[in-house]
Amino acid sequence: MIKARIVVTLKTGVLDPQGKAIEAALKSFGIQDVGSVRQGKVFDVEIKGDDPAQAENTLKTACEKLLANTVVEDYSIEIA
């Protein structure tokens, strides 16, 4: 098994209302040192097999088809 982590984040310049809401909530809890917050998603995935290159190709396909909206989101894949 190959373990991987996929991180999906909004592209630079895309408005992040959820991040703004989190930022405001943190400040309302007295955490004033927060400058800004951008939210994202993390997926920890196990891929059958032992070929990291094949696993990365499989994960890229998963990101392009389902895990990330590539119009407004970027993703990165880290093979462990």
pLDDT score of 72: 97
**pLDDT block averages, 10 residues each, the chain of length 80:** 97 96 96 93 96 96 98 96
* CATH class belonging to 2-79: alpha beta
pLDDT score of 48: 96
Structure tokens at 41: 């998603």
The pTM for the full model equals 0.86
7: which DSSP letter?
A: E
Gap between the Cα atoms of 75 and 61, Å rounded: 12
pLDDT score of 74: 98
Gap between the Cα atoms of 2 and 49, Å rounded: 7
Domain ranges of the chain: 2-79
Residue in 50, 40, 47, 80 with CA at minimum distance from that of residue 62:
47
